[in-house]
Structure 1
Amino acid sequence: MRPHFLAIPALLASTAMVQAGGIDRSGQSINALFESGRYAEFTFGAISPDTSGTAVAALGGFDSGDMTSSYMQFGAAYKADINDRLSYAVIYDQPFGADVDYPTGTNYYAQGSQADLDSHALTGLLRYKMPNNFSVHGGIRIQTIEATAAVPFVTGSAGPFAGAPYRVDGDRDTGVGYALGFAYEKPEIAMRVSLTYNSKIKHDVDTTENSVLGGPNRSTTDIETPQSVNLEFQTGIAADTLLFGGVRWVDWSDFDISPANYGTLTGGGSLVSYDDDVFTYSLGVGRRLSDTWSVSASVGYEKSNGGFASNLGPTDGNKSLALAAVYTRDNMKITSGIRYVNIGDAQTAIPGAAPAANFEDNDAVAFGVKVGFTF
């Protein structure tokens, strides 16, 4: 198996975790750690979701319009060997995010609602190879988050459409977590199985709220980005043919964003929360066509859990198909891929109306490019 052929599983990351697990975006991949020699990569993804719903008749039956903005993802990594047994990697990614913008002028109950969540993470990892084909890895992750939201229909007065609109701004905060895992490799058949645990990371976000309760009201909102486990594998199944895939579990049921005034206005409601953990599955096949070209196709699946979704994230599960190619020349490899995502149908709710809207037949398209150098 040629070295560039082994890069095919990384295509899953280069086309982004579109809509996976609500605000899960990068998948927190550590594939760069397993590259040979000294290696650097840069990743770019452009994601265009199309998400809209229709209010129930009791709320006028109006269409929401497309409430998800297109966004871009960036990533980078550097890996090097210290000696025959020990190596390290430094990985930058944007693990979590949200870009919500309900258009105005639609008469939809959530018109004008907005939400933005930005995160950046820098992970430093060490890997130790043991004599029996096993290796262990672990390290520290430093992460920042920043968030804002405006929810005009939350007013704390009689009826969802009256009173002063609600807005919250969270300052950027930095938290620290860790990653631990192990891997087993059998290079003669291009086999590798890795398991990585990512800890939750706690943030104490300085928060400013404005609403019918007055403002600016300042407080601290505790936010913990969720713990997760990534199981990834690849193996040769025939000459120049690779089977690859993975399972990602994220502890979303323990995730909650509840600014102080928002809870008062909604009778204890959360701005963002999830009822269930999320498992995301992927499976693909790669094929080396020549010394310079490899291609792959993969499918992804995330179960629909039912119940009511947040108005700021009205999705429930997804199915996806990705096609990708790797071009290798000298010490450079260029990985490009496109992914189509069928976003799972969801229902939303507001106080006094459950369901409030139905979101159906939504999708997203993502395009990713990764450029890697071995030197």
Structure 2
Amino acid sequence: MKRIMTTAAVVALSAGMAQAGGVERSTQSVGILFEQGRYAEFNVGGFNPDVSGTVGAGTVSSGDMAPGYGTYSLGYKQALSDKIDIAIVLDQPIGANVGYPAGTGYPLQGSTATVSSNAVTMMMRYKLPNNFSVIGGLRAEQASGEVSLSSGYTMKTSDETDYGYVIGAAWEKPEIAARVSLTYNSKITHDFSASENVMGGVPTSFATTVPESVNLEFQTGIAKDTLLMGSVRWVHWTQFDISPPGYLGASGGVPLVDYSNNSTSWTLGVGRRFNDQWSGALMFGYEKTQPGTTGNLGPTDGYKSVSLAASYQASDNIKITGGVRYVDIGDAITNAPIGGVFSDNSGWGAGVRVGINF
């Protein structure tokens, strides 16, 4: 039960993430460390949001300014001994794809922005007595960004790779498929060189911090072939700030992107094994709406979601899992002077995972 059900749960949690600030693409789970024996997985997913707002008492619409995007990740895990497990994960921790349609009359019409990243995380779990274990690892993260605003401002950063770490602890009770893990992911600061079409074309530079976070992941058997599972994720989003000096000068000191609140995201659900081949999961997610306004390049605030996943054990060592997720995206009012009102927005996500034990 443990092997089949946890896979369904992870895909339900991660299929097309729509997280705080609209830039999070990975929950940085350490679940792969608890797979049995030698294990490899490939994940691919996508999210298609529909996000629009209005100004002028609802008379001018922005159009859908949040194009869909895809994500992927790779993972490999193996046991070095009866006490030591190692894993390596390739994923995309943050990303953004913003495109205000042209010809709408909205103040930001024609503006675009992208953020891309890739990260490699190497982790180790060391088993202690009484079903406890400690977790540690290093993360290398590459990031870059580009923006073009309707005001005529443009900016493109260098590709920068910097480093962070993950530490944590876990407890298990295999007899009832119970597990709790608590992990801390450090912040990673990127020192970018930038090309801005201001300040006489002189190259500029600035630092942006991908924020620290804390993950609590849990599961436990509650009946025969049935699991209760979920997670709590806290992200220090007030550390995230994009402030190119040329833009700061032109905007009177207002950052291009920043967040005034941190976030806590919750998921809770039930998984069930139907037979030796099939299992499924139903998950609910929640992140509360924060007070205040949001940036014009990320006009969402909190969410509610429901996810469904099904897992098929294709053979003794191959399992295939698919998940879909509906997200009710929280309403937001963007920063002055635009003050756009974004409401009644939503999105659909889907993901597929193939896992192989060998």
TM-score > 0.5, shorter chain as reference: yes
Q: Over residues 42-84 of structure 1, what are the superposed CA-to-partner deviations in whole Å (9 max), with x where a residue is unaligned?
A: 0000110110001134xx8310000011110000100000000
How far is the alpha carbon of 1:227 from its aligned partner?
Answer: 0.2
Q: Over residues 175-226 of structure 1, what are the superposed CA-to-partner deviations in whole Å (9 max), with x where a residue is unaligned?
A: 0000000000000000000001000001111111014x542x3111101100
The alignment's TM-score, normalised by the length of structure 1, stands at 0.93
Q: Which runs of 4+ in 1 moved over 2 A?
A: 5-9, 19-22
Residue type of the alignment partner of 2:213: S
Q: Over residues 213-249 of structure 1, what are the superposed CA-to-partner deviations in whole Å (9 max), with x where a residue is unaligned?
A: 542x311110110000000000000000000001000
1:207 aligns with 2:194: yes
CA distance in 2, matches of 1:284, 1:13: 10
Which residue of structure 2 lines up, in the alignment, with residue 45 of structure 1? 45
Question: Which of residues 90, 93, 105 in structure 2 aligns to 1:92?
Answer: 90
Compared with structure 1, are the counterparts of its residues 142 and 13 closer, same or farther at alpha carbon in structure 2 (3 Å cutoff)? farther
**TM alignment of 1:260-299, pairs within 5 A:** 260-299=245-284
Question: Which of residues 93, 115, 118 in structure 1 aligns to 2:116?
Answer: 118
Residue type of the alignment partner of 2:46: A
How far is the alpha carbon of 1:252 from its aligned partner?
Answer: 0.2
Which residue of structure 1 lines up, in the alignment, with residue 32 of structure 2? 32
Q: Over residues 146-198 of structure 1, what are the superposed CA-to-partner deviations in whole Å (9 max), with x where a residue is unaligned?
A: 10011223xxxxxxxxxxx1111011100000000000000000000000100
Residue type of the alignment partner of 2:99: D
Identity, % of aligned pairs? 50
**TM alignment of 1:262-341, pairs within 5 A:** 262-328=247-313, 329-341=315-327
Residue type of the alignment partner of 1:89: A
Which residue of structure 1 lines up, in the alignment, with residue 354 of structure 2? 371
Which residue of structure 2 lines up, in the alignment, with residue 160 of structure 1? none
CA distance in 1, matches of 2:356, 2:228: 24
Q: Over residues 314-341 of structure 1, what are the superposed CA-to-partner deviations in whole Å (9 max), with x where a residue is unaligned?
A: 0000000000011012200111000000
Q: Over residues 229-280 of structure 1, what are the superposed CA-to-partner deviations in whole Å (9 max), with x where a residue is unaligned?
A: 0000000000000000010000001211100011111111011100000000
1:3 aligns with 2:29: no
Residue type of the alignment partner of 1:342: D
**TM alignment of 1:230-241, pairs within 5 A:** 230-241=215-226
Which residue of structure 2 lines up, in the alignment, with residue 174 of structure 1? 161
Give the gaps of 5 or more residues in structure 1. Answer: 154-164
Give the gaps of 5 or more residues in structure 2. Answer: none
Question: Which of residues 331, 334, 349 in structure 2 aligns to 1:348?
Answer: 334
CA distance in 1, matches of 2:78, 2:105: 56
Q: Over residues 72-117 of structure 1, what are the superposed CA-to-partner deviations in whole Å (9 max), with x where a residue is unaligned?
A: 0000100000000011000011010100000101111010111100
Residue type of the alignment partner of 1:332: I
Q: Is the 8 A contact 2:117 2:141 kept in 1?
A: yes
SS of residue paired to 1:132: helix
How far is the alpha carbon of 1:9 from its aligned partner?
Answer: 2.6
Question: Which of residues 230, 236, 257 in structure 1 aligns to 2:242?
Answer: 257
Which residue of structure 2 lines up, in the alignment, with residue 135 of structure 1? 133
SS of residue paired to 1:29: coil
Q: Is the 8 A contact 1:13 1:26 kept in 2?
A: no
CA RMSD of aligned residues (A): 1.2
1:184 aligns with 2:171: yes
Compared with structure 1, are the counterparts of its residues 97 and 2 closer, same or farther at alpha carbon in structure 2 (3 Å cutoff)? closer
CA distance in 1, matches of 2:136, 2:300: 33
How far is the alpha carbon of 1:2 from its aligned partner?
Answer: 5.0
Q: Is the 8 A contact 1:30 1:91 kept in 2?
A: no
Residue type of the alignment partner of 2:272: R
Residue type of the alignment partner of 1:61: T
Which residue of structure 1 lines up, in the alignment, with residue 63 of structure 2? 65
CA distance in 1, matches of 2:29, 2:43: 12
CA distance in 2, matches of 1:52, 1:10: 30
Compared with structure 1, are the counterparts of its residues 13 and 285 closer, same or farther at alpha carbon in structure 2 (3 Å cutoff)? closer
Which residue of structure 2 lines up, in the alignment, with residue 159 of structure 1? none
Question: Which of residues 70, 75, 78 in structure 2 aligns to 1:77?
Answer: 75
CA distance in 1, matches of 2:150, 2:61: 17
Query: Quick check: 335-344 or 16-25, which moved more?
Result: 16-25
Residue type of the alignment partner of 2:173: K
CA distance in 2, matches of 1:300, 1:21: 16
CA distance in 2, matches of 1:5, 1:260: 49
Residue type of the alignment partner of 2:322: S
CA distance in 1, matches of 2:2, 2:287: 32
Which residue of structure 1 lines up, in the alignment, with residue 148 of structure 2? 150
SS of residue paired to 1:123: strand
How far is the alpha carbon of 1:13 from its aligned partner?
Answer: 4.3
CA distance in 2, matches of 1:2, 1:75: 22
The alignment's TM-score, normalised by the length of structure 2, stands at 0.97
